[in-house]
Amino acid sequence: MEFKIKTGELANQKTPCLVLGVFESRKLSGPGEAIDKASEGHLTKVLRRGDLDGETGRLLMLYDVPGVNSDRVLLVGCGKRKELDRTAYRKAVAAAVGLLNETQTVEALCTLPELAPDGLGLYGAVRETATTTLDKVYRYDQTRREDKKAPKHPLKRLNLWVSKKQDRGTVERAVRHGAAIGRGVALAKDLGNLPGNICTPAYLAERALAQQHQNLQVQILEEQEMEALGMGALLSVSRGSRQPAKLIILDYRGGEEGAKPIVLVGKGLTFDAGGISLKPSEAMDEMKFDMCGGASVLGTLLAAADLGLPVNLIGVVPSSENLPDGDANKPGDIVTSMSGQTIEILNTDAEGRLILCDALTYCERFSPAVVIDLATLTGACVVALGKHASGLFAPEDELAEELLEAGDTAGDRAWRMPLWEDYQQQLDSNFADMANIGGRDAGAITAACFLSRYTKKYPWAHLDIAGTAWLSGKEKGATGRPVPLLTQFLLRRSGELAESGTE
C-alpha cells in the first residue's frame, strides 16, 4: 500500500475515485462543499433524494459528477458532526476502504482526514487513516490455494488530500508512523494466524532471524543453553512437546551507545492444549493464537527498525508448545526457575507464566530501562475486560499512566488492574516457594502477581492481551494488538513526537 499526499484545487484532481465525508442530515464537510460548488450543487441534489442519510459507514458511489475531474465520487456517512470520534472515524474509513478494495479500485483520493475527528488533530487523523486502511486491506493468504487469493486488483494507492500546503510535513510524518505501525500489525497478524503445525517455535525463530539487519541482531538460544542457564520452568513446559523450545532474542540498537534498553517480552506459546490439565476441545483451535505476544514483539521491533527510532530496544520471545505427553508436567510437579525460586505446578495449563518467568529473569542481564511483557495469559482477563482493552498491570503509577496514554493515543486501549500485595497469598504452596495458580478468584491478577516475583530488579509492566490479540467467530483472526500501543510508547520515549503539531 502506498500513501501519497496531495494538495491543490480538489475539483481538478484526476483520480479514479474521490472519497468525501457526509454528516447526518445531509451536511457536507469542507471538501464536500468545494465539490458541491464545483458541480453546481450536484451533491446537494443527490443527497436531497435521500439515498444517503449520513449514518456512519453508509456509502454512496456517484458517477459522472459534473465539473470535477475525478471518475467517481464516493460519499461516506460520518454520523453526527459532534460525535465524530476515533471509533466513528475508523468505521467510516474502514467502510470506504472496504468498498474500494472489493470493487478493485486500485487508486483513490481520500479527503476524510480534513473532517478533523474529535481529539485526533490532523496528525492523528492521517495516521489513523493509514493504519485503518492497512488493517482493512490485510488478508491472510499463506495457506490458501493460489487462485483463491482474492482480490486480484486490491486498493494499492490511497492518496491523502490536505487543504493546507504548510501541513505537508506533519502529514508526511503521520503517514510514515501510520504505515510502520500498519506493517508491524500485519506481521503480528500473519504470525498469529498461521496454524500450530506451521508456526512452531523453530518457525518463529526463523522468522525472527529473517528480520536481522545491520541495526537488528537476532540470537536464538537452544534448549541446551537454556538448561545451562537453569531455566527449569520454561523447559518443563516444552518437555511435553516434540518441538524443541527456543528463546528468541532481538537486539535493535537505534539509540546512543550505553543507553539502557527498553525490553519487550512476548509469550510465544505456539499451541496451548493445556498439557495434562487438558483444555476442553471447544474452540481449542484458537490456542494457536497463544503466541500472539511474541508475534507483537516481532511486529513492534519491525516498526521501530522501519522508523529508525533512536532507542535501544530488545525483544525476548520464549517459545514452546504445551501438550499432554508421557514426559509432560504433571499436577503437583515442582520445578526450579532460573531465579532459584521453586514452583509447584498445580495446573499445567497455567504454562504462560512458567515460560515467562525464566525469560523475565534472563532480562536482568540487559540492565533494562523498563521491561514490558505481553502475553495471552488468562481467560480471566477476557472475562474482566472483554475484547476491548488489554489488562495492564504495573507497580509504578508513572509507567502505568504512560502506557495507558499510549494506548489511548494509538486507539489500542489498555485498562489498569490492581497488583496489590493482598492477592499474593493466593499463590502460597505447601511444598514450594509458590504455586503456579491462585485459585478461582482474580485469575488475571494472581497471574500478574506470579510474574511480579520475577521482575523486582527493574521497572516492569505486564499486558494481558488474552482478550485483545485475536477475534473469534466470523471475524476469527489475529488483531496485531498491542503493536500500536507499544509503537506509540516507543515514539514517545524516543522523542519522535516532540515536534509541534504531531499530537
Q: Which of residues 161-180 bind ligand BES (CB under 6 A)?
A: none
Decide: is 412 part of the binding site for Mn ion (CB under 5 A). Answer: no
Using the rule CB under 5 A, give the single segment among 12-20, 261-269, 298-306, 310-318 that binds Zn ion.
261-269
State the binding partner of 437 from Mn ion, ligand BES, Zn ion, none, CB within 5 to 8 A by kind: ligand BES
Long-range Cβ pairs for the range 7-12 (8 Å, 24+): 7/161, 7/162, 7/163, 7/164, 7/165, 7/168, 10/34, 10/35, 10/38, 10/68, 10/111, 10/161, 11/35, 11/38, 11/39, 11/67, 11/68, 11/69, 12/69
Decide: is 128 part of the binding site for Mn ion (CB under 5 A). Answer: no
Decide: is 373 part of the binding site for Zn ion (CB under 5 A). Answer: no
Question: What's phi and psi for 373, nearest 5 deg?
Answer: -105, 150
Nearest CB to ligand BES, comparing residues 317 and 380: 380
Residue from 351, 358, 373, 412 touching ligand BES (CB under 6 A): that is: 351
Decide: is 331 part of the binding site for ligand BES (CB under 6 A). Answer: no
Nearest CB to Zn ion, comparing residues 54 and 275: 275
- SS3 readout for 164-232: CHHHHHHHHHHHHHHHHHHHHHHHHHHHHHCCCCCCCHHHHHHHHHHCCECCEEEEEECHHHHHHHCCH
The letter for the amino acid at 151 is P
Number of amino acids touching Mn ion (CB under 5 A): 3
Least Å distance, CB 290 to Zn ion, is 4
Number of amino acids touching Zn ion (CB under 5 A): 4
Q: Give CA–CA dist 241/275, Å, rounded.
A: 9
Give the SS3 label for residue 399.
helix
Residue from 352, 391, 467, 480 touching Zn ion (CB under 5 A): that is: 352
Decide: is 114 part of the binding site for Mn ion (CB under 5 A). Answer: no
All cell numbers assigned to 45: 441534489
Closest CA to 4 of 101, 492, 13, 189: 13
Residue of minimal Cβ distance to Zn ion = 272
Q: Give CA–CA dist 115/125, Å, rounded.
A: 9
State the binding partner of 443 from Mn ion, Zn ion, ligand BES, none, CB within 5 to 8 A by kind: ligand BES
Decide: is 437 part of the binding site for ligand BES (CB under 6 A). Answer: yes
Decide: is 374 part of the binding site for ligand BES (CB under 6 A). Answer: no
Least Å distance, CB 320 to Zn ion, is 10
Q: Which of residues 287-326 bind ligand BES (CB under 6 A)?
A: 290
Residue from 128, 190, 223, 290 touching Zn ion (CB under 5 A): that is: 290
Nearest CB to ligand BES, comparing residues 167 and 412: 412
Asked if 341 and 406 count as a contact pair (C-beta separation under 8 A), the reply is: no
Q: Give CA–CA dist 323/453, Å, rounded.
A: 26
Nearest CB to Zn ion, comparing residues 201 and 255: 201
Determine if the peptide bond prior to 261 is cis (ω within 30°). Answer: no
Helices 168-193 & 292-307 angle (0-180, nearest 10): 150
- SS3 readout for 437-472: CCCCCCHHHHHHHHHHCCCCCCCEEEEECCCCCEEC
The HSE-up count of residue 202 (CA atoms within 13 Å, CB side) is 7
443 to 482: interface string for ligand BES, x by CB under 6 A: x----------------------x----------------
Q: Give CA–CA dist 313/192, Å, rounded.
A: 22
Decide: is 352 part of the binding site for ligand BES (CB under 6 A). Answer: yes
Question: Is 279 noted as a catalytic residue in this protein?
Answer: yes
Residue from 128, 223, 344, 349 touching Mn ion (CB under 5 A): that is: 349
Using the rule CB under 6 A, give the single segment among 23-31, 102-110, 176-184, 371-379 that binds ligand BES.
371-379
DSSP state of 283: T
Decide: is 349 part of the binding site for ligand BES (CB under 6 A). Answer: yes
Catalytic site positions: 279, 353
Binding site for Mn ion (CB under 5 A): 272, 349, 351
Binding site for Zn ion (CB under 5 A): 269, 272, 290, 352
Binding site for ligand BES (CB under 6 A): 272, 290, 347, 349-352, 376-380, 382, 437, 443, 466
